[in-house]
């Protein structure tokens, strides 16, 4: 695995000597001592960061490469070692990673742990999930609470004006959709968002921002029309309409 001895290394190693260790980029490999199968990767930011990323995810059993993760769990961390194959400039990282993947055929499960055949593409390029894998992924996603990144994205989009077409699509998807009794119970009573302690500060901020605020005539008319429509719809639900009255002697 020594890139110097292989005779295939085409870049000068003096490039890396001029950079601090935390900023060196290039191609690396994780190799299993028992099977001698490699996993090749490259880093365009820092090889050291990639080492920490892989080791952290593998130790927690959440690595995005299931093939690599299973091997790590089976043989143990002590039977894997990390090696820097080439230290090269950023613009050559993907090209050299592809070279090593092709050389060792590491995208073939019999010879390596790479999922992707192409270094510059997603792992599934040129591949297709089996029915069993799709079913497992579906079951795994059920009941998962959105991660912090999703919540952060929602906050970042707060106040963004949506196009009429976007709003119409959302409206069509939700039209006629009925909430379950369990869902309604969660939305009411002590579970209502206005009664949650964690939302007290937000509610107070909303009250303070609205205190003393004067509405324009246009805003008043819009609110009045909306309330009138809501009350009328409520009355229509509560009072049955009689289309024809019959009188008897």
Examine residue 165 and state whether it is found in any structural domain, yes or no. no
In a domain, 199, yes or no: no
Whether residue 44 lies inside any domain: the answer is yes
Residue 97 pLDDT > 60: yes
CA atoms within 13 A on the CB side of 160: 10
pLDDT(219) > 80: yes
pLDDT tens digits for range 129-149? 677 777 777 766 665 555 555
Residue 19 inside a domain? The answer is: yes
235 lies in some domain: no
User: pLDDT, tens digit, for every residue of 224-244?
Assistant: 888 888 878 777 765 555 444
Domain of residue 52: give its range: 3-125
pLDDT of residue 173: 78
- Asked if the structure places residue 40 within a domain, the reply is yes
Q: How far apart are CA 24 and CA 15, in angstroms?
A: 9
| Whether the predicted pLDDT of 30 surpasses 80 | yes
Whether 100 and 119 have beta carbons less than 8 Å apart is answered as no
Q: What local confidence, expressed as pLDDT, does residue 123 receive?
A: 54
Domain count, the chain: 1
Ranges assigned E (strand) in the chain:
26-32, 38-43, 80-87
Q: What is the CATH number of the domain that holds 77?
A: 3.40.1440.10
Q: For residues 155 and 26, which has the higher predicted lDDT (pLDDT)? A: 26
Distance (Å, rounded) from C-alpha 90 to C-alpha 166?
40
Q: Identify whether 113 is part of a domain.
A: yes
Q: What digits encode the pLDDT tens for the residues 33-50?
A: 999 999 999 988 888 888
């Amino acid at each position: 695995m020594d890139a110097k001895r292989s005779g295939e290394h085409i870049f000068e190693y003096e490039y890396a000597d001029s950079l601090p260790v935390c900023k060196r980029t290039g191609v690396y490999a994780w190799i299993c001592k028992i099977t001698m199968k490699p996993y090749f990767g490259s880093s365009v930011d820092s090889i050291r960061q990639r080492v920490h990323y892989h080791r952290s995810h593998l130790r927690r059993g959440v690595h995005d490469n299931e093939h690599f993760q299973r091997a790590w769990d089976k043989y143990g961390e002590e039977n894997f070692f990390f090696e820097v194959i080439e230290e090269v400039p950023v613009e050559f990282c993907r090209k050299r990673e592809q070279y090593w993947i092709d050389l060792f055929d590491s995208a073939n499960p019999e010879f390596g742990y790479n999922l992707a055949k192409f270094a510059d593409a997603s792992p599934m390029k040129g591949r297709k999930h089996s029915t069993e894998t799709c079913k497992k992924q579906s079951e795994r996603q059920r009941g998962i609470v959105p991660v912090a990144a999703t919540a952060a994205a929602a906050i970042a989009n707060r106040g963004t004006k949506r196009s009429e077409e976007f709003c119409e699509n959302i409206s069509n998807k939700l039209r006629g959709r009925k909430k379950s009794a369990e869902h309604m119970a969660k939305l009411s009573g002590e579970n209502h968002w206005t009664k949650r302690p964690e939302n007290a500060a937000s509610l107070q901020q909303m009250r303070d921002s609205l205190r003393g605020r004067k509405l324009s005539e246009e805003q008043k008319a819009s609110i009045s029309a909306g309330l009138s429509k809501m009350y009328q719809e409520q009355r229509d639900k509560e009072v049955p309409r009689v289309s024809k009255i019959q009188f008897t002697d």
